[in-house]
Amino acid sequence: MDIKVLGPGCKKCEQTAKIVKEALAEAGVEANVEKVTDMMEIAGYGVMATPSVVVDGQMKIAGKVPKKKDVLSWLK
């Protein structure tokens, strides 16, 4: 599984990355988590609000910090 956390590095983006990692640990899922902070790359995803999470090429959330419950549902 390939997970990308998009965001320039603001507080909410850090929170998002933390929650994603926690959810992964809780579900016992192995995944490659990458933080994307480059504006050009973020824009390339067509995201208009950060933080945003992309799971296996699918955008799951944009503009707010996800709840752990949400992240767990994406992992299934």
Partner 1 sequence: MEPIQEDACNCKAPRTGGNAASEAAMERKTLALYLGGSVFFLVLWWILYKNLLPLSEAASAFLAWAAGFDLDGHLGSSISFFIYEVPKVLMLLTLVVFGVGIVRSFFTPERTRAILAGKRESVGNVLAALLGVVTPFCSCSAVPLFLGFVTTGVPLGVTFSFLIAAPMVNEIAVVLLYGLFGWKIAAIYAGTGLLIAMIAGWTIGRLKMEKHLEDWVFQIQSGGLGAEEEELDWVGRIRYGIEAVRDIVGKVWLYVMLGIAVGAGIHGYVPEGFMASFMGKSAWWSVPASVLVGIPMYSNAAGIIPIVQALLGKGAALGTVLAFMMSVIALSLPEMIILRKVLKPRLIAVFIGVVALGILLVGYIFNFLF
Catalytic hit among 10, 29, 48, 49 = 10
DSSP string, 36-73: E--HHHHHHTT--SSSEEEETTEEEEESSPPPHHHHHH
The correct pick among 2, 10, 56, 73 for binding partner 1 (CB under 8 A) is 10
Under the binding rule (CB under 8 A), the answer on residue 16 touching partner 1 is: no
**Tokens coding 33:** 């988590």
CA–CA gap between residue 26 and residue 5 (Å, rounded) = 18
Cβ closest to partner 1, residue 23 vs residue 47: 47
Alpha-carbon distance of 13 to 66, in angstroms, equals 10
Active site residue 32: no
What would the x/- binding string for partner 1 be over residues 27 to 56, using CB under 8 A? ------------xx-xxxxxxxxx-x-x--
Which residues contact partner 1 by CB under 8 A? 7-8, 10, 12, 39-40, 42-50, 52, 54, 57-63
